[in-house]
Amino acid sequence: MSFDCFGAGQRVSTTMFPAASWRDGDATARTVFSAFEAVMDLHEMLWHLTRVRTRSHDSDLTDEVDLLCAEISAAVDAGATSVLAVDVTFVRGRVRQVLDTVSAEVRAAYFADGAATDARLVPQADLAGADLRDVWLVGADLRGASLVGADLRRSDLTGCDLLGVDLRGADVRGADLRDALFLTRTQLASASGDRNTRVPVDLEVPPGW
């Protein structure tokens, strides 16, 4: 099981509560953990926003991305009190709208010729264990889908929306993940790849591949 806190643990422990510990008592523990959860959520949003900025050609949209990044960064930089006052659900909704719009823009470019996709390739799809080696996945919207144990060997996932996709045990040997949308370190580490798997330049190849 892999886990990525998006740097929240270090941020909370070293800058927000450098002298505090969850061992100091229940009240302190609740505050520290609440701040950790909020910072982790906000850092994850920043992770996705900074990566989609270069994928959109809509100046209004990139301006909105910049605004959200600035607001989130300012809230985190201001400290624990500021972070705990953030309505994370509201911010997540705003970020989700931006991510949805960028995803639609990017994916549409791959279907300009009206090419049809496999009917199974929909958000929240249960594709656990599915053999997808011969399925056209470029530009597919698989957000929230289960690809647990799916066979993706040598698949091209360019422009494929992988937000929230469960890739545990998925076979991505030889797959091209370089331009997949919203792929995270945790997802990558949970899959099974090899030295022929191509990953985004800002993600490290997991040990053991």
pLDDT 10s digits, 108-132: 988 755 555 789 999 999 999 999 9
* Among 51, 81, 110, residue at a domain's last position: 110
Q: What's the average model confidence in pLDDT over 61-79?
A: 91
Average per-residue pLDDT for the chain: 87
What helix, strand, coil percent values describe the chain, rounded to 5?
A: 45, 5, 45
What global pTM score does this model have? 0.82
Q: In whole angstroms, what is the distance from residue 125 CA to residue 135 CA? A: 15
Q: Token pair for residue 77?
A: 């930089």
- Per-residue pLDDT reduced to its tens digit, 124-183: 999 999 999 989 999 999 999 999 999 999 999 999 999 999 999 999 999 999 999 999
Residue 108 burial class via C-beta count within 10 angstroms: exposed 0-12, middle 13-18, buried 19 and up: exposed
151 with 132: CB under 8 angstroms? yes
181 with 55: CB under 8 angstroms? yes
Q: Token pair for residue 128?
A: 């656990």
Q: Are residues 154 and 127 in the same domain?
A: yes
Rg (the chain; Cα; Å): 19
Q: What's the average model confidence in pLDDT over 81-90?
A: 90
Q: 191: domain range? A: 116-209
Looking at residue 3, its pLDDT comes to 47
Q: Are residues 62 and 24 in the same domain?
A: yes
- How many domains does the structure of the chain reveal? 2
- pLDDT over 90 percentage in the chain: 63
